[in-house]
Amino acid sequence: MNKSLSYLLFFNLERPNTYKENKTPWQLALEKVPNLDKRLLIIPVDLDAMLENKLFFPRG
């Protein structure tokens, strides 16, 4: 899970995009909305793990 999270964060935030002047997705977002809240960088929730732990559908 850590490896996939690392790749996800790199791809969506740090990866320079050659078609967009080698800017990262976060840089491009900040150009459009300069005061973006860093809470947008929150990590994704692993829904499969939550389902396995029965957090969504607890049984009596």
Q: Which two tokens stand for residue 19?
A: 């078609």
Asked whether residue 57 is domain-assigned, the answer is no
Asked whether residue 60 is domain-assigned, the answer is no
The answer to whether residue 60 scores a pLDDT higher than 60 is no
Determine whether 26 is exposed, middle or buried from the number of CB atoms within 10 Å of its CB (0-12, 13-18, 19+).
Answer: middle
Asked whether residue 30 is domain-assigned, the answer is yes
pLDDT-derived band at 52, boundaries 50, 70, 90: confident
Asked whether residue 45 is domain-assigned, the answer is yes
Residue 29: partners with Cβ closer than 8 Å, 6 or more residues away: 36
Domain of 13? Answer: 2-52
pLDDT tens across 4-47, in order? 888 888 887 889 999 999 999 889 999 999 999 888 777 777 78
Number of domains in the chain: 1
